[in-house]
Structure 1
């Protein structure tokens, strides 16, 4: 008899530009890695996207002085570091897809 693994309650990861196969891989990682929470990779992408799409002046101020909203809304630098960790833990094809999305955001910065 095969044991069924119960899916954890919580947010699911949805990231535009990723295949369902890669999203499923991310969900598995989020459930098995202690440094990831369910929905954490999607939240990190959202946080990084919000950060890089700010005006250049706001980015410069954030780089020089920090941003008090990071306490409640997430530190974009920590989010970007988490994305690097996730990409290292993924399969080559899954990491390639996520890297394409993240590098597209990096170019906007």
Structure 2
């Protein structure tokens, strides 16, 4: 399992699909996923999906997850690890492309009230 994401076989030609990103930013992500040992094709899109699902949960569900260390994270991925992976990807990207991904992730973070 990579960075808390569920293990899914992916083709080497997988192209990321992340709403709100330009084709230039998506191409940069695809290049990073091919060149970094901590990434596999599709990891960034999977991390965005997982973080999006997590941030849209009710506050009550989020508290239950924290209290019980959600057992679903074993099969479905840990959203906190996914957020850490997104931070690493944004750090590795060029400033212009990272800005686009930061906007997408920032909107999700705002749902949790994170700065």
**Structure 1 length-normalised TM:** 0.90
Q: Secondary structure at the match of 1:84?
A: helix
Tell me how large the CA RMSD over aligned residues is: 1.0
Distance 2:29 2:89 in 1: 8
Range 36-45 or range 62-71, more displaced: 62-71
Check if 1:16 corresponds to 2:16: no
In the TM superposition, residue 91 of structure 1 has moved relative to its aligned partner by 0.2
Check if 1:53 corresponds to 2:56: yes
In the TM superposition, residue 11 of structure 1 has moved relative to its aligned partner by 3.1
In the TM superposition, residue 10 of structure 1 has moved relative to its aligned partner by 4.9
Distance 2:85 2:111 in 1: 19
Give the paired residue count.
102
The equivalent residue for 2:34 is 31
Distance 1:9 1:40 in 2: 12
Check if 1:77 corresponds to 2:80: yes
**Higher-RCO chain (CA-CA 8 Å, sequence separation at least 6):** 2
User: Unpaired runs of 5+ in structure 1?
Assistant: 1-7
In the TM superposition, residue 9 of structure 1 has moved relative to its aligned partner by 2.5
**Bigger Cα Rg:** 1
